[in-house]
């Protein structure tokens, strides 16, 4: 059994026991959250597709980690003008462990 959920503007295929990184969700480590934006649930041969989402389906997940991803460097330069700009960015994420998919 697996489901397609939407969170943080992206779509993820999840199954029970999966661990995935999503855009930051407010909450403490160990809290259980519900992902209500379920687009599709597949249980063997039974496929339920939402228009655009399934109202009855819920995916329960536990927050496993709150953190920041690796730093990326942004470097801009204009030749012969003396313009140089260096910035860095670390995107915040939430690691989720999928506990239950209910359709």
Q: Hey, where are the domains in the chain?
A: 2-102
| Residue 39 host element (H or E) | strand 38-43
Question: pLDDT band at residue 103, thresholds of 50, 70 and 90?
Answer: confident
The whole-chain average pLDDT of the chain stands at 96
User: What percent of the residues of the chain are helix, what percent strand, and what percent coil, each to the nearest 5?
Assistant: 0, 70, 30
pTM for the whole structure: 0.86
Strands (E), the chain: 2-7, 10-15, 19-23, 32-35, 38-43, 46-54, 58-68, 72-78, 83-89, 92-102
**Residues 41-91 pLDDT 10s:** 999 999 999 999 999 999 999 999 999 999 999 999 999 999 999 999 999
| Integer CA distances (angstroms), 60 to 32, 63, 91, in order | 7, 10, 24
For residue 65, the model assigns a pLDDT of 96
């Amino acid at each position: 059994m697996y489901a397609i959920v939407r969170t943080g503007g992206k779509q993820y295929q999840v199954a029970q026991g999966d661990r995935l990184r999503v855009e930051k969700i407010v909450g403490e480590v160990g809290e259980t959250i519900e992902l209500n934006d379920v687009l599709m649930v597949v249980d063997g041969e039974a496929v339920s597709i939402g228009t655009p989402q399934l109202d009855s389906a819920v995916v329960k997940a536990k927050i496993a980690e709150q953190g920041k991803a690796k730093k990326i460097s942004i470097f801009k330069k204009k030749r012969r003008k003396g313009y140089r700009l260096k910035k860095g960015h670390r995107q915040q994420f939430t690691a989720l462990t999928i506990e239950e998919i209910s359709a």
